[in-house]
Structure 1
Amino acid sequence: MNEIFDATAYFDNIYARPVMLETRSLTQIFRHGKLQRTVLNQIDLQVHKREFICVIGPSGCGKSTLSRIVAGLDSFHSGEVLVDGQPIQGTSAERGMVFQGYTLFPWKTVKQNVMFGPLMKGLSQTRAEEMAREWINIIGLEKYENQYPHELSGGMKQRVAIARALVNEPKLLLMDEPFGALDPHTRQKMQKHLMDLWQNIDLTILFVTHDMDEAILLADRIVVLKSNPGEIKEIIEVNLPRPRYSDLIHSTEFKQLRAHIDVLVHAQEDSLDPALQNLPKIPRMRHIDTSE
């Protein structure tokens, strides 16, 4: 890589900022009858103002559970969750949430979807419409403000979902695999658009993903979780300069970081799913003439 990047100074600057999100000994236990499973165990995490954190780990490690708890959608067993130093109490406009599913109101237009939050906060129709139009312009959908979700592509729908979250001016944006359902080209464009938004807005992001390349391209730090129980295995500082572009994946530094994360995420997969260890040999179901 040709750019000189002072990672020490970069992260010193991040750690000097106030803590926006903090979890202290956060534990979540799911119960079903007499059975119980610890999904998150003693999670201690500090996310600083304007930091971009990605959470990654094997299936069942509690990534989505963590984001839902911070959003106030789910209660938790024990511990503390603080936003700007205050314990969370249910959902709040200061914590915006974007899911993989677009969760738009199908009977509302793009503009009406984005206006929903400001109207719920008691703002006037005129002010809500002004705010909605501002964000619709920012996400580049001003030509589509009167269209309905079924008339939009997947990338457009997700941009509307992001605008609907950001119009409320949240301190923290929570994103749970928001680009998981998109095709690779659209996903790449959405990643770049999100980075442009984050670099120009006073916003802290907690982003859940299963895609290692995505985590490296987006994050300041990557929180790697392990399963059974869900615990923090490692927190990795991404020592790569910004802005980051997709061709970065070909660099030696990127490949080394990806290989390290790959080991962390997949090392325990066999123990998590013993059925994968002894897969049966597939019998030949019909005669195949290899000369055809």
Structure 2
Amino acid sequence: MARTVLTIGFIGAGRMARAHAAVLRTMPNVMLKACCGRRLKSGQAFGKEFGIPEAYANYEELLARAKVDVYWVTPSVLELPTVAKACLRTCKAVFLEKPVGLSLEEAQEVADVAAQSSSIHMVGLNRRFYSNINAAVRLAEKHGRVRGIEVHAPEDITDLHDHHPPRVVDRWIYMNGVHCIDLLRYLGGEVATVTAAQVGKENSRGYAAMLKFTGGGVGQYTSHWYAPGRWRVALYADGLCCLIQPLESAKAIYRGGREEPIPLSEEDQRFKPGFYDQARYFLECIMAGKAVAHPGCDLPDYLKTVGLIDIINGEKPQIN
């Protein structure tokens, strides 16, 4: 018998879990059934806020007792790899908020467990689902194809030590920089060559990379950790530049200077951008019993992005 309602168990009750729950509770054929936080009290408060009937003291108790179809995994980054592996071993569907660990090795361990599981899973890289970014891609394709990509991702990390453990701050390019580096692959395709440079250390780092994609396009990435700024993406096609800065605001610039806005969808204005289409896509995969593919990101795809981060971060050889 076909499944008509998907029941969801939340692991994590913080800010990101709330952003996901705000979306999921509006979707048809979805029931938010169980949740847990770091403590029973936080899980109970989360459950009360979103009308979730079952709250558990920890993820082990939730996995053992809650009868749900999908685990929505949003704990702290330092806890996520352990929780992710436990969820994947159940063979139920699993949504993993990024990052899946703070190194390629940690992500690989989770991917190895997923490879031995029948779990349908997805990593939450919501910029792939920004309505304005995807509209810009469609517009560029009408002008032939995306021939050039620029991604500028400043990260002023001066005050991060007040809010995050030292290892998280030290690995910030894996923690948060993953979004913009993943956009290079999402927009450009598979990477053929990479030349990268790094300067500075700790909170004064700077990164630059030049990429060539197997489809023939080129990409450029820069990130500076010592100055403020907004993330920026530019797509270039014949006679067209789509400028997206910040990532929630986009416009098309045509040859001759004419400009047109590329608006966000109603859902991206109502919720955290990308979250609605991301959740809808994953739930459709589960309902259909099919593995996640483009535009979604499964763990093998995620490993490619983290491998690219390793090169940009100077931890792996460049690809020439």
The TM-score, its normalising length taken from structure 2, stands at 0.27
Q: Which has the higher contact order (CA 8 A, sep 6+)?
A: 1
Which protein shows a greater Rg? 1
